[in-house]
Structure 1
Amino acid sequence: MALLLTANVAGRTNGRNVARLLQNQFPAGPRAFRVPGVDSLNHARGQPVSWLVTRTASISGQELFNNYGLKPNSELILGYGFSLPHNPDDTIVLKVGGIEGRWEIGRDAQGADGLWKVILSKFVEASDATYEDILDASGMLQEMLESLIEKLPEEDIAGNIEVRADVVEMFHHYLEGMSNLVAEKPPEARSQVKMPFFALW
């Protein structure tokens, strides 16, 4: 059976048009039905959902999922009121004092190479960089990351405040993502220095 998820636009549902589309697409088979409150479905990252017809088979009693897109926990918490453990889409936006621009860094240091190049350029032209220049730039980046790590809140929620368990869980998901992001190094920086120094990162 196909699952029909209709949208209400300017007070009119598009159910008739979609029903015709489904009859053409599935002439002898599935029947469509409407699901009220589809926005109340839980989120599963990467869930294959079409706003017209689901593309996966569902059995009676099985939970259906919606997909809000590839979003970091900061956006999921603020926009939808939930988070994902070890969210692969977590990002952090970095601004470096004295350097124009912002860098959005993802897991596995995605997007960090641009930041590394800018930091390295503060010491020397990238093409003329010596081993010592790279170490100096690495040290500067290390200090910046340590400063960010120090600013992260403690894992334990302090005080005698009663906080709902689901809120504490979201806090831990968010904190895990931020800790992971600031602890990672740009791939280019890792490849330029191969010595125990980088075990400190």
Structure 2
Amino acid sequence: MRIGAYLGFHWIYQERPETEWPRSLVHKTYLASLPPASNLSTPLYFTESELQLLSGSNLLGAVEDRRKEWSAESEVLRSILNEDGLTWERYLATATYMSSRAFPSKLLDLPSDSEMTPQSTRIDGVSKPVLLPGVDIFNHARGQPILWLSSLVSTPNGSQGVPSVSLVSSSICEAGSQLFNNYGAKPNEELLLGYGFVLDSNPDDIVNLRLGIASLPGPINERLQSKGLDARERFELKRNGEVDKRLLEMMRVLLGGGSEDDEVEDDDEHALHEKEEREMQLELDVLGMLGGMLEDKLEKLRAGSEIKVVDAREEVRRMCDVYRQGKTRAFRLRL
């Protein structure tokens, strides 16, 4: 929120030429280099009609959640800073800049000497999104070999090194060709929501599942808590068909009613056989429930694709089609 307020004040003071420009606002040139709101293409900039192109998908709910979250943050800023010029439209733009251009702050954890330190060798700590003017101009290329380096560079006139961040490509770049960054392995759902673009046939498209149960009986809740499970947790189904063990265990608890089988004596063959049958049936029920969830989501995607939207921009329609096709492909691979 603080970065959003800081950038927003640049716009406010641009509208007040009679007021002295605050010395603390030093990124006027950088802000002017960023695309205007009219060029931003994340779903929060879609029209109501265009949002219908996301019907039946997880992304539509994610867009609504993000709008509520950012809108609340915008209200807090206006209230605390008592500045009506920090409008929702301006906060939306700065928040979108952050979601699409920010780097992790741990990139700025510079070494104490002048040696370059690859980001991959750092000890992970608490990291927050930060903007790095100039470093953030590069488009994304999946699989592009890029090394992010932080260093202290010595200067002829200074006794101390100057902090430096470099993006180093390990591939040959021809003169006149575009230089790319690599944002990491991201599914189209994340790319469209945060950046405003999609990749054709994106192999990183994933399937997320959440049981989404609003309220559960006491015994089931207690059983889940005893196992460290949360029914609100979201799980990712991998392309190789592997299912998160925590999701499977959660489904066992839900289908089993939260109860535990009584201990069975090792020499009681009849009781052991009955227990094995119950466990086998429970596993079949779990697989059936999982398959049903996937079929349900696939059907919602199919039904959503049949909604006719006339007044949509062609690029928005194309991105939504690519996103929906990739999501459908990902579900079918896991069924």
Shared fold (TM-score greater than 0.5)? yes
Partner of 2:140: 43
Partner of 2:233: 102
TM-score (normalizing by structure 1): 0.60
How does 1:158-197 map onto structure 2 within 5 Å?
A: 158-164=308-314, 166-185=315-334
Q: Is the 8 A contact 1:89 1:107 kept in 2?
A: no
Partner of 2:252: 120
Q: Is residue 67 of structure 1 aligned with residue 67 of structure 2?
A: no
* Compared CA separation, residues 156 and 170, structure 1 to 2 (3 A): farther
The structure 1 residue matched to 2:196, chosen from 81, 95, 109, is 81
Between Structure 1 and Structure 2, the one with more helix by share is 2
* Compared CA separation, residues 102 and 183, structure 1 to 2 (3 A): farther
Q: Is the 8 A contact 1:48 1:54 kept in 2?
A: yes
Whole-angstrom CA distance in 1 between matches of 2:333 and 2:244: 9
Whole-angstrom CA distance in 2 between matches of 1:65 and 1:106: 29
* Compared CA separation, residues 39 and 110, structure 1 to 2 (3 A): farther
Whole-angstrom CA distance in 2 between matches of 1:171 and 1:94: 20
Q: Is the 8 A contact 2:188 2:199 kept in 1?
A: yes
1:118: Cα distance to partner?
2.1
Greater relative contact order (Cα 8 A, min sep 6): structure 1 or 2? 2
TM-score (normalizing by structure 2): 0.39
Q: Is residue 145 of structure 1 aligned with residue 242 of structure 2?
A: no
How does 1:2-17 map onto structure 2 within 5 Å?
A: none
Amino acid at match of 1:161: D
List runs of 5+ in structure 1 lacking aligned partners.
1-9, 12-19, 23-35, 186-200
Whole-angstrom CA distance in 1 between matches of 2:242 and 2:329: 12
Amino acid at match of 1:45: R
Number of residue equivalences: 155
Whole-angstrom CA distance in 2 between matches of 1:111 and 1:139: 13
The structure 1 residue matched to 2:171, chosen from 37, 40, 56, is 56
Whole-angstrom CA distance in 1 between matches of 2:305 and 2:176: 37
Whole-angstrom CA distance in 2 between matches of 1:56 and 1:112: 36
1:83: Cα distance to partner?
0.9
Whole-angstrom CA distance in 2 between matches of 1:137 and 1:158: 36
Partner of 1:4: none
- Secondary structure at the aligned position of 2:252 is classed as helix
- Secondary structure at the aligned position of 1:105 is classed as strand
Q: What's the CA shift string for 1:33-54, capped at 9, x where partnerless?
A: xxx9554433111211235232
1:58: Cα distance to partner?
1.4
Moved more, 100-109 or 78-87: 100-109
Partner of 2:90: none
1:110: Cα distance to partner?
5.1
* Compared CA separation, residues 120 and 169, structure 1 to 2 (3 A): same
Q: What's the CA shift string for 1:68-109, capped at 9, x where partnerless?
A: 122221221122221112323333442212462313314414
Amino acid at match of 1:119: M
CA RMSD of aligned residues (A): 3.4
Amino acid at match of 1:87: N
**Runs ≥4 in structure 1, deviation > 6 angstroms?**
none
Whole-angstrom CA distance in 1 between matches of 2:332 and 2:247: 15
Amino acid at match of 2:139: N
Q: Is the 8 A contact 1:105 1:181 kept in 2?
A: no
Amino acid at match of 1:133: L
* Compared CA separation, residues 58 and 184, structure 1 to 2 (3 A): closer
